[in-house]
Amino acid sequence: MKPVSIYTTQTCGYCKMAKEFFQKNNVEFQEFDVGTDLEKRKEMIDKSGQMGVPVIMVGEDMIVGFNKPKLEGLLNILAVA
């Protein structure tokens, strides 16, 4: 499986939904809290060109926001009806 990382803040509802999605589907991920980690905040802005979270990296693919269908596709997760 491709490495997964997520840039978050403590107050972000969509970040929480994305992390719950990963946990429910047994996807290992690395989390970076850009609210407290200024170096990771700069890295996220440099990669994505914006300041909104979550920014999710699946390998080299970037998703800005919580886009469940796109995540399912990138991670080869079958959608549950």
- pLDDT value of position 54: 98
- pLDDT value of position 41: 97
50: CB partners within 8 A, 6+ apart: 64
Q: CA-to-CA distance for 30 and 7, rounded, in angstroms? A: 9
Q: Which domains does the chain have, with CATH numbers?
A: 4-74 (3.40.30.10)
Q: CA-to-CA distance for 45 and 52, rounded, in angstroms? A: 9
pLDDT digits (tens, 9 = 90+) for 35-64: 999 999 999 999 999 999 999 999 999 999
pTM of the model: 0.93
